[in-house]
Amino acid sequence: MKTARHYVGGAFGPAPSDGTAIRTFPLVDPVDGTVVGKVPEAGHETVDAAVAAARGALDGPWGNTGPEERAAALRRIADGIEARFDEFADAEAGDTGKPRGLAATVDIPRAIGNFRAYAELLHGRPETSYTTAVPGWSTGTGKALNYTVRRPLGVVAVVSPWNLPLLLLTWKVAPALAAGNAVVAKPSEETPSTATLLAEVIDAAGLPAGAFNLVHGHGTGAAGEFLTSHPGVDAIAFTGESATGAAIMRKAADHLTPVSFELGGKNPALVFADSDLDAAVDGTVRSAFTHSGQICLCTERVYVQRTVFDEFVARLGERARELTDYGPMISAAHRDKVLSYYRLAVDEGATVVAGGGVPSFGDRRDRGFYVEPTVLTGLDGRARTMREEVFGPICHVAPFDTEDEAVALANDSRYGLAATVWTRDLSRAHRVAPRIEAGIVWVNCWNLRDLRTPFGGIKDSGIGREGGTYSLDFFSEPVNICVQV
């Protein structure tokens, strides 16, 4: 049986300091629905202790570290994950149910890369300028040397989701530590294992006690809410559902706490008649069904130019029916949610081209939380299935005629995270991509990422940007120093 552990002030243990009873909840394998471990539920006292430990680290050794020391610490963490690569891959696949090959080729290498990338990005140049005093606007005379230094925000709460647990946790923890903050992390209650392994690696890397803290538990009315509403927290970085982000923002407003949110999506793909149809079909299979659609970047709305619409639908449906190596939904509750959208789509008038139900494997997976990869057609933009994020292996394909119509259809959403454009016409690609209301637009590819580039959404898909110096900018405060010379 797996046992997740809190990590607070440099010490592991599920028990609160005041001796009250240890509360736990079961960890369930989504592949077959069996209980495989237990997870401690952090109460107010554990969250308070974690925030206090983080504050203490800032007032102590961690607060006095320079960029070189922090970079060295990040490299040691990266090396520690790499040394235990198989453990991390097994734990990630075990918690999420995703194919181990996906965890081993995407999640764990990306986590290692996150720490190494931010170790390298620490070596920036100061921003300097000379300024001439403006009469009536300055108490000084003559010229001044202006330069900018960056200081950490303080105690940062990191709340990460269950779909890419280690990848998205380290995507925030690495830059937060790089900027000199102390972190209190709360992973999803569904996927605690790699976060616990990360705490073990960070402990072995020798970071000062309290620089990184880990608490487990649920969200509303529990550890997640206790942390994000805590008056001792100086910033919040969250990835998850838009509704949860809005709830966190309401709590954060009480203390004017800065937030960085990467939220939901209802991402479109535009397939033009001049595209490489083989590449467009292959790319849409990936963008709709990778990790069974449980990625915020996955495509749920596909718009195809009418002259190739029938061929595209037939080929995509065939490919969806051929898929076999896919994982389950994260939980029984999420499976039921996705299945409810499958039923809703039919009630709204959709034609089911492929899928639409529960697969049968003839093995232990039949006790798990699987749904079929599903392709739909026939709905208009007003249908709930077209407007609400399902977060499962589902996409709806609709036709369009003109470029302007395609852009209008893509933008007809309260979300704005990602989009994909398939076309051989370079001029069209450059015309269309900037008009799409999304934080990232891929042309003839999907999920091709450079960690230095900005990542995030607009509208209900988020606030702020992550990646490269954009993350460092959020996790630090610029201070202008003006010296009269």
- HSE of 132 in the Cβ direction (CA atoms, 13 Å)? 1
Active site residue 41: no
State the Cα–Cα distance between residues 396 and 384, nearest whole angstrom: 12
Closest alpha carbon to 267 in 453, 450, 415: 415
Name the active-site residue from 262, 300, 372, 437: 262
Active site residue 82: no
Q: Six-digit token pair at 325?
A: 């190596």
Name the active-site residue from 92, 225, 296, 437: 296
Q: Six-digit token pair at 10?
A: 């440099």
State the Cα–Cα distance between residues 292 and 390, nearest whole angstrom: 11
Question: What distance lies between CA 361 and its chain's CA centroid?
Answer: 31
Spatial strand order of the sheet with 476-484 comes to: 127-132, 143-152, 476-484
Count, residues in the chain? 485
DSSP code per residue over 241-291: -HHHHHHHHHHHHTTT--EEEE----EEEEE-TTS-HHHHHHHHHHHHHGG
Tell me how crowded residue 258 is: count the other CB atoms within 10 A of its CB.
17
State the Cα–Cα distance between residues 406 and 401, nearest whole angstrom: 7
Which residues does the annotation mark as catalytic?
A: 262, 296
